[in-house]
Amino acid sequence: MEEKENLIVCMDNTESLQDSFSKFLQAKKREIKNRSFTIKNNNYNREDPEFRNQLRQKFIDRAKHYIGTPYAQRYHEPGTDAYNSPLFLDCCGLVRQVVFDLSSEFGFTLCRWNQAYQSDTLDYVNYEDMKPGDLVFLSGTYYSPKMKKQIHDMVHVEIFLGGETGEQTIGARWWKGRVQIFDTYKFVSTNYYDIKYHYKSIDRWLHGICQSVCPEHKWVDDRKNRWMPRNSIFMEESCEAVEEIQDGTIEEERENVRNERIERDCIAVPLEIETSAEAQSLMVNE
């Protein structure tokens, strides 16, 4: 009897090597399929409004930690400080990074999809009810027909602060810019027009819930299999559908397909938490 990677493979004289390997292969597939990446965290009481308020403030403070981070390396001259930055964050990358940094409190990490995915996991809120830390999403139409259409036409996201102007946000807005605080989330873009603003509350995230509320897009999380090549013998057959799911993976601009930061941020795995009765009331049935 040989034990390897928590798999028990029994071999006897009546079993061929091919049969033994076949059993090992099926056992390995079952292990991967059932892998849950679960971390039960009972240290946080998400029914406690004070906990959620503190986490909301941490979300804001952590976003401010990245002020000055360049949008993307390719928009800067080689040899400059911006070009040599150890980190680059676009609009959705900033949100993803902050949630990743606070993953133990949130209980999950965001997957690699862009602002359209992030928007689909949150509920709408009236502007008058916006709180610092909520998100402002922008939908629009690209001027260039070469730009790939975004899901829901979502082209941008920033973190709402309110501040002195009542419209302050923090985000990564310009290709050659950096993460910064803006006096208002309203601006004129040279890349898209017909801009509409969508206000989303992060309350679901504060309750430890990150799943799509959109009936059209479920955004199935395929990360449990992303560590292996698609042609791996251990890949589950059902994972072939991932290619279709990835058709909905669109970077903020068509050029951003080459932005490796999007992929690196997705390496983090989701955490599952014990959900309270209040949190369960916010969840959407699968």
pLDDT tens-digit series, residues 213-236: 888 888 877 665 454 444 544 443
pLDDT-based confidence at residue 112 (cuts at 50, 70, 90):
confident
Does 263 reside within a domain?
yes
| Least confidently predicted of 10-14, 19-23, 78-82 | 10-14
Query: Helix/strand/coil (H, E, C) string of 198-261?
Result: EEEECHHHHCCCCCCCCCCCCCCCCHHHCCCCCCCCCCCHHHHHHHHHHHHCCCCCHHHHHCHH
Identify the pLDDT of residue 17. Answer: 77
Does 25 reside within a domain?
no
Contacts of 136 (CB under 8 A, 6+ apart): 130, 157, 158, 159, 160, 169, 185, 197, 198, 199, 200
Average pLDDT, stretch 259-285?
40
Does 12 reside within a domain?
no
Residue 133 has pLDDT above 70, yes or no: yes
Residue with more model confidence, 162 or 10: 162
The C-alpha angle with vertex 256 and arms to 253 and 260, in degrees rounded to 5, equals: 160
Instruction: Give tens-digit pLDDT for 29-47.
Output: 665 554 443 344 546 788 8
Residue with more model confidence, 174 or 233: 174
The whole domain housing 84 covers 35-280
pLDDT-based confidence at residue 82 (cuts at 50, 70, 90):
confident
Number of domains forming the structure of the chain: 1
Does 14 reside within a domain?
no
Q: Token pair 């971390």 is at which residue?
A: 39
Does 286 reside within a domain?
no
Give the containing element (helix H, strand E) for 99.
Answer: helix 91-101
CATH number at residue 200: 3.90.1720.10
Between helix 49-65 and helix 91-101 the angle, nearest 10°, is: 130
Q: Token pair 């209980």 is at which residue?
A: 107
Tell me how far apart the alpha carbons of residues 266 and 112 are, in angstroms, rounded to a whole number.
Answer: 5
Does 27 reside within a domain?
no
* Contact indicator for 283, 114 with CB cutoff of 8 Å: no
Average pLDDT, stretch 53-80?
94
Does 19 reside within a domain?
no
Does 63 reside within a domain?
yes
Name the DSSP class of 65. H
Listed residue (77, 186, 66, 74) closest to 138, CA to CA = 186
pTM of the model: 0.67
